[in-house]
Chains A and B, each alone.
Chain A
């Protein structure tokens, strides 16, 4: 997981009209690049830096932070400005709260200081904490002005807490949950933070219960709301057929305990048998081929636990070990996966994971992008199931992990990872179909040309898929200029000649 301030920024920029100001040196606003690139965001990321430079080191930030807050207040007119400390400002130990107090006197926007310590918490913990902080800030504010909505909605409704930007397949998951609740006749009161406004937070108490779909973000806010308003919370991750059924049953019992009279059993049966293909898939011949195959799982606690359960309980795959980098959540993770895998690994050290994978030699890996790269080196296929991720994990097409459509997606992901591995082996056993080398040799008919060592080396540096073309065009150039031996200089001249 990333550093704390990333978590705070993810929460702040998920809300509408909230601006975050980082107290950070030049270059730390890398978050903007990630948001803009990974999510292909059309808007400007509402994050700016109050730059810490030499002058700040020497004399302190003085008016700078306050001025930057006031400036953003005028320029963007946000509802809320979140001052975000970074690792650098943690060490400087300036009284940021004081800046916040001063700035909030003048600015129209509310101003708060994110209460996160870089050296104590990581991205996910910080996101959880910042969300709680903003929720409680606006609940208290509404209390003060007597605008708090305490009347529960007439028909059952829920809050979904923990939908954030840059979350793994988050947007798709939320769409799928919306569909699920609409099927169940449960309305959605609020989804926070993604896409909601801080002014809506006073409506949170209207919901019958809170849904926290991800383990990492939202639990603190849900606990706060349970303590303040006695709103129950469902924290089962609705991933995989079995857990999804557990999730819906829990919802049923919670709603009925509050005076509703609903039964979702028929819905579960119908969906499991006919809507989702996953349970049929696990009975089919395809899946029987996977029985007992060895896999390893690593990721954030939500996804690693959910995938482990699916592999082992729903597909009969042998999970050699399952692990998470969420060290702070060790107890929960162990409780969830014990009995479903041979070993549980809790570590933030990717080197250790790489070595473990090499030692285990699984038929497939389910992990993050890090594990995918390890898999590439070891020639083991990998399905990506969790952050940290790359742009290809923000697909344009609909790919939820949650809900009934999610079970289909996961079945595909698992199956494709394994068959790819099998195909690979078959090709290897039958000699493969890699004849690139022979192809290049036959096509370059000129054999009276000599390549100098340097030129050959240079040629090797050129990416494989164009190498043949470059080789041929260089030789053509040499031939038409009556050159017999190809040196580096000839190569460059040939390159210039074709205008590349």
Chain B
């Protein structure tokens, strides 16, 4: 598998017979992130069963999240989609009064060509609750890409014109700490504490984060207009990036992702360079964090890793682990956007050269069966994989994560 002489990473593509989560699983973290939302997954018993098992049974006692289970009558168009959805959404409005209802389209709505995008605006006007449609189906997407489909839909709902902020005066004193630069909006859902920390990191460089997509509440979506800058924090948001560029005319900052101290530094440096800011104290900060990690680094140095691939974070994690001194044999990944992940791939190549280790192979749409054969041959120290393979691999003496 190792290609010693290569100057850059090689890309391969297999059969796509691999295990991953269905993209509707993004509901489980997004409903927590967007506090005034309600998620309605329009699918079958299969979708419901998946959510119930993947997220724990308590999920259905959770009030901000429901399944619209399609019956035979829906499939054969004996029932009226519009009326059915209206009945459900009115009930949701009555019971929970959310600011927004997300309709999550699934494989089934896709195949029977249920016109969710067409129905939504009409129903929205009729019941006076925002309805956002995202097609997070297993026909087209894998796992984390579900979030991408939802952010794409939300990006189009961001206000165009900056609202005149009433309490802009109260922020005045803080504003002075920032350098003058065009508005910067970050996209990707992160736990509030992580989002805060990234905001502070940029603040230290005098960069102001004007908003996050998604925001804590749907009603607080950031304004995005022409000339604004946007930057992604997660590697699986390529469609969101495209939408922000094409539909909102924003400029994308293509940086590596803030995963690992090396990634975080590169991410900040890239943003600084766009705004012509010379970053301060970054090298020192990165060094200090590496110091703190020393205990762990000793454990993993020179150990080998194999990524089977299921969530699109694989490139960034590999790059980080190589920097930690590990050897990566194979990076499996469901889908590879070479443009959106361009900065990350460059950093990966740079890191490999710096650490003087062979370039790993990136396998898009991997074939789990063939991967297991390669794992058997290579006997890596660590296989990063999904739950379907973890126990069987452990039983065969291979450590998994």
Report A's interface with B, CB cutoff 8 A: 2-3, 5-6, 24-30, 32-34, 36-37, 40-45, 48-49, 51-54, 57, 75, 86-88, 91-92, 118-120, 122, 350, 354, 368-370, 372-374, 376-377, 388, 390, 458, 461, 488-489, 492, 496, 499
Contacts and interface: CB of A to CB of B under 8 A. Distances in A.
B52 A388 contact: yes
B108 A87 contact: yes
B391 A42 contact: yes
A92 B107 CA distance: 11
Interface in B27-83: 44-46, 49-50, 52-54, 56-58, 60-61, 71-72, 75
Contacts of B19: 29, 32-33
Given A53-B16, A369-B57, A458-B193, A87 B143 contact: no
A119 to B, nearest CB: 4
B23 interface: yes
B5 interface: no
Nearest to B72: A119
Given A27-B142, A33-B387, A88-B108, A496 B289 contact: yes
A376 B62 CA distance: 13
A42 B392 contact: yes
B57 A52 contact: no
Nearest to B25: A27
Interface in B364-387: 369, 372, 386-387
B111 interface: yes
Contact of A36 (B20, B44, B138, B388): B388
Contacts of B160: none
Contacts of B110: 57
Interface of B: 16-17, 19-23, 44-46, 49-50, 52-54, 56-58, 60-61, 71-72, 75, 107-108, 110-112, 137-143, 192-193, 196-197, 200, 289, 292-293, 369, 372, 386-392, 395
B309 to A, nearest CB: 12
Nearest to A72: B369
Given A118-B44, A370-B57, A388-B57, A488 B137 contact: no
Main secondary structure of the interface of B (DSSP, over half): helix
A376 B57 CA distance: 12
Can you list the 8 inter-chain pairs with the closest CB atoms, starting with the nearest? A27-B22, A25-B138, A42-B395, A32-B388, A27-B138, A499-B292, A87-B44, A3-B45
Contacts of A28: 22, 46, 50, 138
B388 A373 contact: no
A40 B61 CA distance: 27
Given A26-B22, A28-B138, A32-B388, A461 B46 contact: no
Contact of B21 (A27, A54, A86, A373): A27
Contacts of B54: 30, 33
Nearest to B201: A492
A378 B41 CA distance: 27
A87 B46 contact: yes
Nearest to B292: A499
Nearest to A88: B107
A122 B17 contact: no
B193 A44 contact: no
A37 B391 contact: yes
Contact of B45 (A118, A388, A458, A499): A118
Contacts of B75: 91, 119
Contacts of A377: 61
Nearest to B372: A44
B245 to A, nearest CB: 24
Nearest to B53: A34
B390 to A, nearest CB: 7
A54 B140 contact: yes
A2 B45 contact: yes
Contacts of B389: 36, 44
A3 B289 CA distance: 48
B22 A119 contact: no
Contacts of B193: 458, 461, 492
A2 B137 CA distance: 19
Contacts of B395: 42-43
Given A91-B112, A390-B56, 13 more contacts: A2-B45, A3-B44, A26-B22, A27-B143, A28-B22, A30-B54, A33-B19, A44-B389, A45-B392, A86-B46, A88-B111, A492-B200, A499-B293
Contact of B200 (A24, A51, A488): A488
A5 B50 CA distance: 12
A406 B22 CA distance: 38
B46 A33 contact: no
20 contacts: A25-B138, A26-B142, A27-B138, A28-B46, A28-B138, A30-B49, A30-B50, A30-B54, A33-B53, A36-B388, A36-B392, A42-B391, A51-B17, A53-B139, A54-B139, A57-B110, A87-B45, A88-B46, A91-B111, A374-B61
A376 B137 CA distance: 33
Nearest to A497: B292
B333 to A, nearest CB: 14
Which of B57, B142, B192 counts the most A-chain CB atoms under 10 A from its CB? B57
A129 to B, nearest CB: 16
Contacts of B53: 30, 33-34, 388
Contacts of A122: 45
A52 B107 CA distance: 10
B386 A33 contact: yes
A150 to B, nearest CB: 40
Contacts of A32: 19, 388
A3 B48 CA distance: 9
A489 to B, nearest CB: 6
Nearest to A76: B369
Contact of A92 (B22, B111, B386, B388): B111
Which of A3, A28, A88 counts the most B-chain CB atoms under 10 A from its CB? A88
A189 to B, nearest CB: 31
B120 to A, nearest CB: 22
Nearest to A75: B369
A15 B389 CA distance: 20
A33 B390 CA distance: 9
B286 to A, nearest CB: 12
A33 B23 contact: no
A3 B292 contact: no
Contacts of B108: 87-88, 91
Nearest to A500: B292
Nearest to B369: A75
A24 B110 CA distance: 14
Nearest to B289: A496
A458 B139 CA distance: 39
B46 A48 contact: no
A36 B387 contact: yes
A488 B44 CA distance: 43
A349 B89 CA distance: 18
B329 to A, nearest CB: 20
A388 B45 CA distance: 14
